[in-house]
Amino acid sequence: MKNLLRYAVFPGLLLAISLAPAFGQSKIKIEQADRLTGGKDEAGNSYRKLIGDVQLVQGNTRIFGDSVIYFQDRNFTEVFGDIVRIEEGDTIVVTGGQLRYDGDNKIAEMRDNVVYQDPSMKLYTDFLDYNLADNIAYYFNGGKLVDTTNVLTSRLGNYRTATNLAAFKDSVVLVNPEYTLEADTLEYNTATQVAYTRGPTVITSQDSTQLNAKAGSEISTTDKQSIFGLGTIETDAYLISADRLFADELNKRYNATSNVEMVSKEQDITIIGDSAFYQMEEGITKIYGNPVMKKVMEGDTLYLAADTLVSVEDSIPANERILAYPNVRIYRSDLQGIADSLAYNLLDSMLFFYQDPVLWAQGSQIEADSINIELLNGQIHKMNATDNSFVVSTDTLSNFNQIKGRDMEAYFDQGNISNINVHGNGESIYFPLQDDSVIVAMNRILCSDIYIFFDKNELSSIKFDVKPEGKFIPPHEITPEETKLDGFAWRIEERPTLETIFNYIPPDVPGPPPINIEVKPVPIPAIP
């Protein structure tokens, strides 16, 4: 009855209004209204005022409101009501408190409690400009986009309806059930739920792990995988930075490539390398590409290098360690060494060398099947050489003083060797000197145990225990064959230096797969 009355009262007028725009499809058409009046504004423009259940239509666009002022000549309308609504086709609905709509340019300015909705998301703001011709919605002075997974807020933003692409600028925050992302600029695809940033980005996980990026990043919010440029991963214990980072938040796995640096906050250890792989759940980090560990100790620095370094975290401090293999090299001012593999226990500061280890402490070379070093207050305190131990040192005349045995203990005082104890199957060759310039003789002795004493890193005296058997050979009777014990090898050319620590060319050691960091988000309109 209401609609019948509506058309009965104004049959000619409504017919004229409805038919006149029909000649041009770009004109707004009045499809329904309870009452209609007319008038002119202050500039003399004629308008129609529509009251009640008003519906306007232009192509696929329908506009609903309680009160409408329609400027037919300008093809422009202002819409008010408790809920003003725009429907674009069957998929897009925009509601708000008031609307200004330019029918020629198809620009809708919606204000007050605006909600833009399509099948993939909802957008909330108080200020929305919607270009229906280009299918782009712009908001300013704050907005919030919500989809099935994420909530994104920013001060400025736009959304392209045809491609489901949104752009956010100024104080951007993306809240995911697993983490929160903060950035200044962000692009987001509501269909794929992938976000792209082109500047500084911070992601904070629920476990307080923080990911930072200075360059571009790509974040898949559904499978929780991210790629960062110039990024950092920070946990309670570690800080990992690199030119490129890949983060798998779901499985807690992280890859780093190019200029990798890992810092242990608790142990004051820094490891650098070309690439790294971090498994957070297992607490294991592997660093490849000529990695080097640096640890400052009482004014000195210990450098450890190998083809691969592994950092092992554990809830039990005694299990935390650094592993190195193969081609291990260590360097500090008072100790250098090589081995095939090494384990560094962080709690008790113990270094274990395996498979053909050779150490140099001042003027002495020490070999054995395995060697471990105890550090105390950042200083070398004791060295234990197990099975086939062999010590060689030179004197002022370049003679090789040699001691070998089953096991050996070397003690240090302020970084200098003070004494060495050999246990089992002891053998020695020792050249006593007069005034450090004349050979007195060559003393060759076999016994069970040997005790060697040093003064200023030079051999000063030797004590032989348990049935020593010896030969005292005058200088003129010494032959080259007698000057070497079985197994002797002077390997000084292998002694590491700082240059060989950092400039070593490793063999082709496989590392983690390369990361494609090039971020190519689909171009979307700039934010005005």
Decide: helix, strand or coil at residue 32.
strand
Alpha-carbon gap, residue 142 to 154, rounded angstroms? 6
Q: For residue 301, which amino acid is it?
A: T
Quickly tell me which residue has 């058409």 as its tokens. Answer: 29
| pLDDT tens-digit readout, 210-260 | 888 988 889 998 888 888 888 888 888 788 899 998 888 788 888 899 999
What percent of the chain is modeled with pLDDT above 90? 52
Rounded mean pLDDT, 258-278: 89
- 140 and 156 Cβ atoms separated by less than 8 Å: yes
| Angle, CA 52 vertex, CA 47 and CA 53 arms, to 5° | 110
| pLDDT tens-digit readout, 464-509 | 887 788 888 998 899 988 999 999 999 999 999 998 898 766 666 5
Band (pLDDT 50/70/90 cuts) for residue 511 is low
Indicate if the pLDDT at residue 295 is higher than 80: yes
Q: For residue 393, which amino acid is it?
A: S
- The predicted pLDDT at position 238 comes to 82
- The predicted pLDDT at position 6 comes to 40
- The predicted pLDDT at position 466 comes to 76
Quickly tell me which residue has 């970084």 as its tokens. Answer: 415
Q: Which of 125, 119, 123 is nearest to 162 (CA)?
A: 119
Instruction: Mark 163-188 as b/e (b = at least 16 C-beta within 10 Å).
Output: ebbbbbbeebbbbbeebebbbebbbb
| Mode of pairing for the β-strands spanning 253-264 and 269-279 | antiparallel
Q: For residue 489, which amino acid is it?
A: A
* φ, ψ for residue 22, nearest 5 deg: -65, -20
Indicate if the pLDDT at residue 9 is higher than 50: no
Indicate if the pLDDT at residue 199 is higher than 90: no
Alpha-carbon gap, residue 177 to 298, rounded angstroms? 45
| pLDDT tens-digit readout, 102-118 | 999 999 999 999 999 99
pTM of this prediction?
Answer: 0.76
Indicate if the pLDDT at residue 359 is higher than 80: yes
Alpha-carbon gap, residue 370 to 270, rounded angstroms? 26
Q: What is the DSSP letter of 57?
A: E
Domains defined for the chain, CATH in brackets: 1-118 (2.60.450.10), 140-198 (no CATH), 341-511 (2.60.450.10)
* Lookup: tokens for 359: 């150490």
Rounded mean pLDDT, 28-54: 89
E strands, 396-456, in order? 400-413, 416-430, 433-434, 438-439, 442-455
Rounded mean pLDDT, 328-337: 92
Q: What is the DSSP letter of 1?
A: -
Question: 67: which strand partners?
Answer: 51, 80
- 262 and 284 Cβ atoms separated by less than 8 Å: no
Report how far Cα 79 is from the mean position of its chain's Cα atoms.
51
- 217 and 197 Cβ atoms separated by less than 8 Å: yes
Rounded mean pLDDT, 279-285: 87
- The predicted pLDDT at position 507 comes to 60
* φ, ψ for residue 463, nearest 5 deg: -120, 130
- 487 and 126 Cβ atoms separated by less than 8 Å: no
Indicate if the pLDDT at residue 14 is higher than 80: no
Mean pLDDT score across all residues of the chain: 86
Q: Is the dihedral of CA 83, 67, 97, 193 positive or negative?
A: positive
Alpha-carbon gap, residue 126 to 142, rounded angstroms? 8
| Secondary structure string (H, E, C) spanning 12-36 | HHHHHHHHHHHHCCCCCEEEECCEE
- The predicted pLDDT at position 515 comes to 53
- The predicted pLDDT at position 510 comes to 61
* Element containing residue 8 per DSSP (H, E): helix 2-9
Indicate if the pLDDT at residue 523 is higher than 60: no
- The predicted pLDDT at position 1 comes to 35
Distances (CA, A) of 455 to 50, 93, 380, 393, 459: 108, 90, 17, 13, 6
Indicate if the pLDDT at residue 20 is higher than 50: no
- 304 and 500 Cβ atoms separated by less than 8 Å: no
Indicate if the pLDDT at residue 8 is higher than 70: no
- 103 and 32 Cβ atoms separated by less than 8 Å: no
- The predicted pLDDT at position 7 comes to 36
Alpha-carbon gap, residue 28 to 4, rounded angstroms? 23
Indicate if the pLDDT at residue 512 is higher than 70: no
Alpha-carbon gap, residue 448 to 457, rounded angstroms? 24
- The predicted pLDDT at position 508 comes to 63
- The predicted pLDDT at position 518 comes to 52
Query: DSSP states of 207-250 as a string?
Result: TS-EEEESS-EEEETTTTEEEEEEEEEE-SSEEEEEEEEEEETT
Alpha-carbon gap, residue 52 to 67, rounded angstroms? 6
Indicate if the pLDDT at residue 151 is higher than 80: yes
